[in-house]
Structure formats: C-alpha cells, structure tokens
Amino acid sequence: MRQPLVIANWKMHGKGAFNQALVEAFLAELKEYRAQCVLCPPFVYLGQLAELLGSSDVMLGAQDCSHIAEGAYTGEVSAQMLRDCGAQWVIVGHSERRQYHQESDALVAAKLSMAQHAGLTPVLCVGETQEQREAGEAESVVKAQLLGALDDLPDLQGLAIAYEPVWAIGTGLSASPEQAQAMHAFIRDVVTDLDATNASALRLLYGGSVKAGNAAELFAQADIDGALVGGASLDADAFAAIVSAA
Ligand code: PEP
C-alpha cells in the first residue's frame, strides 16, 4: 500500500508576510489526512518555512538543486545546503527548468544522484508537450526522460516520480483521470523494467492544474499516488482540500 504524497510547488511566488499567513492558514485547515505532505517554497524561504512548520508532520522541500557538490559556481545551491536548511525533498527536472534553463536528461540524472547522496528524496518530473502528444509521441518522450534520468541510479528506492504533461501545467487544462492513469501505468511498466523490486512501491504523482474540484477523481486511479500542485498550493483552503482528498 503506497502512502499518498502531495507536494506544493510554490514556484517563484512568496513574500514574508504572505508565506506566514498561507502556512498558518493551511496548517489550521488541515485536519484529517493520511497523505504525506511537502511544501516547496523558493530557496530563500526555506528557513522561514522550517520555523513555521515547526513540529507539524508537513515536510519541507526545494524546487531544484545543483548537480555539483561544492565550489566556485555562483548562484548554485547544493543538495547538502538544502539538507542543512531542513529540506527533506527536492523537485528535479521540472518542465520549467527543462524549458527555461535547458536542463538535459543527463543534468537531471546528476541532480538526482546529488540529491540522494545528500539524503534528500528527489521527485523526478517528466511529461510531454502538446505538440508531442498530438504527434503520438507522449509515451516515447516520457520513456526517454525516465531512462535518461534513471539509467545510472543503483535502485529506485528513495525517489518519487511526477508525471506532469507540459500542456496541463498552469493552464487550467488538467489531463483527464483516464489519460493520467494510462500514462502512470506506462511509467510503472518502464520503471519495472529498470528495477522490478522497487517499482511497485514507487509513488507516482500527477501534476498539471490539480484543484480541489478534480483531485479526488485523479486520486481514485490505481496508479496515481498523489499530486504535485502549483497554482492551487498558494491557496490554503484549496491545498488543504487536495491533501485531504488524497
Ligand atoms: C507545477 O508547477 O508543477 C504544476 C503542476 O503547476 P499547476 O498545478 O499550476 O498546473
């Protein structure tokens, strides 16, 4: 039985007073839930959130990490530094990083390995664009991203994967539960070929316009173990409802 997992990706949003109000309202809203829950603010707010989350069960994560351990790399933040700030999770290979920062599968693989060495649990993001889906290439694109990032990992323990179709991120156009389930089942098949021992325990999250209104039907699918949530995670009521639905 896989424990549901719901992760908030704040992207480049946040401000001191806003963060405090959001986290306090979210924790107050969150009553009965069995999902693991992670908040990923921008790097500079990790310390503030670590304090706000205090002894609650809600965990802290980052949105990216460097592929390098340490050195003269201006602007980079290492996985170990994130660990020092209290992060336990890190998102790796988000489509916005692939698109705007030209992150390759090889770079994503190096980041995954750094994260695991530092004791962080990485969440590997994969997903196809609208054009790729229309060309019938969705599965081959996702498979190439998975193999490119995971081929050299010794095993698939200590990892989660988020399927985030690029056309559904921030657009309000969520994949249907059936479309998402079909891709999740495909992803589980691909990872089974890589590591049959751990594939059935691996948590597969869906991301792309998840809201309070569509979360339950997505989570009802056999291979959808939770969500990576962008926009709706900036609204305490909406995010608490998604966590409760998981
Ligand atoms: C995301 O940023 O990973 C995401 C899924 O965003 P949204 O929920 O806003 O589509």
Q: Is 164 one of the annotated active-site residues of the chain? A: yes
Options 96, 128, 164, 184, the catalytic residue = 164
Question: Hey, whose CA ends up nearest to atom 8 of ligand 1?
Answer: 230
Residue 9 CB–ligand 1 contact under 6 Å: yes
- Tens digits of pLDDT across the chain (246 residues): 899 999 999 999 999 999 999 999 999 999 888 999 999 999 999 999 999 999 999 999 999 999 999 999 999 999 999 999 999 999 999 999 999 999 999 999 999 999 999 999 999 999 999 999 999 999 999 999 999 999 888 778 899 999 999 999 988 888 899 999 999 999 999 999 999 999 999 999 999 999 999 999 999 999 999 999 999 999 999 999 999 999
Q: Are 84 and 60 in contact (CB under 8 A)?
A: no
Count of other CB atoms within 10 angstroms of residue 62: 25
CA 229 – CA 169 distance, rounded (Å): 9
Ligand 1 contacts CB of residue 231 (under 6 A): yes
CB 130 within 8 A of CB 99: no
pLDDT at 151: 86
Give me the pLDDT at residue 49, please: 98
Ligand 1 mutation pick, 63, 91, 167, 169, max ligand atoms within 8 A of CB: 169
In a mutational test of the pocket of ligand 1, which residue from 6, 7, 10, 11 has the highest number of ligand atoms less than 8 Å from its CB?
Answer: 11
Give the per-residue SS3 of 149-203.
Answer: HHCCCCCCCCCEEEECCHHHCCCCCCCCHHHHHHHHHHHHHHHHHHCHHHHCCCE
pTM of the model: 0.96
Question: What is the structure's pLDDT at 35?
Answer: 95
Would the CB of 169 count as within 6 Å of ligand 1?
Answer: yes
Q: Which atom of ligand 1 is nearest to the CA of 211?
A: 8
Q: What is the rounded distance in angstroms from the CA atom of residue 25 to the CA atom of residue 233?
A: 12
Ligand 1 close to Cβ of residue 61 (< 6 A): no
The pair of three-digit structure tokens given for residue 141, joined into one six-digit string = 């694109």
Residue 33's pLDDT is what?
87
Residue 31 pLDDT: 81
